[in-house]
Amino acid sequence: MSASHTIRPITPAQVRLLRHALLRSFEPPSRIVYHGDDAPNTLHAGAFEGECLIGIASVCHEPMPDGREPASWRLRGMATVPSVRGAGHGRALLELCFDHIRAHGGRLLWCNARVVALGFYERLGFVAEGPEFDIDPIGPHYVMTRQL
């Protein structure tokens, strides 16, 4: 990443525009509202090239469905624009998320990972758990976790 690239917190409204463009084009941005989006300790991280938003990731305090770790956080809406993929922006977004979670006493991060992104999450230290499952209309996913 060059000096013109930055990672910083953004608003829920900003994050929804890229969620729509990159992850959920079948829904308008105003409807892509996740549980926890407006919680005071939620982080919406944005990657910028100059003033252009090129990547997003959001983390909120949300226990895993099995309830094993109360200090667990959930990652949602992880994406970078196609023209910058492979350049380290996804990693940089997640590292800001890891720092934010640790600063709030979190010990585990989990997500429903699209199968096409498994290799990315593995590079960042996530481990897949349990069976593959389908989220309609997106496709196959695994639960992945990362200790912090």
Ligand X SMILES: CC(C)(COP(=O)(O)OP(=O)(O)OC[C@H]1O[C@@H](n2cnc3c(N)ncnc32)[C@H](O)[C@@H]1OP(=O)(O)O)[C@@H](O)C(=O)NCCC(=O)NCCS
Contact residues: ligand X, CB under 6 A: 22-23, 78-80, 85-91, 113-114, 116-117, 119-120, 123
CA distances from 88 to 5, 85, 95, 121, 124 (A): 10, 7, 11, 13, 11
CB of 132 to ligand X, least distance (A): 13
Reported as type and span, the H/E element at residue 30 is none
Min. distance of Cβ 76 from ligand X in angstroms?
Answer: 8
Q: Minimum CB separation from ligand X for residue 7, in Å? A: 11
**Which C-beta is closer to ligand X: that of 67 or that of 82?**
82
State the nearest-atom distance from the C-beta of 107 to ligand X, in Å.
Answer: 21
Closest CB to ligand X among 21 and 148?
Answer: 21
- Which pair of structure tokens corresponds to residue 98? 């890891």
Smallest gap from Cβ 93 to ligand X, in A, equals: 8
Burial class (CB in 10 A: 0-12, 13-18, 19+), 135: exposed
Burial of residue 117 (CB within 10 Å: 0-12, 13-18, 19+) is middle
In whole angstroms, give the CA distance from residue 95 to residue 55.
13
Q: Which is nearer to ligand X, 29 or 88 (CB)?
A: 88
Q: Whose CB is nearest to ligand X?
A: 119
Q: Using the minimum distance from each CB to ligand X, give the nearer residue, 40 or 98.
A: 98
Task: For tokens 């959920």, name the residue.
Answer: 24
Q: Please check whether residue 105 is in contact with residue 88, taking contact to mean a CB–CB distance below 8 angstroms.
A: no
Residue placing its CB nearer to ligand X in the complex, 101 or 124: 124
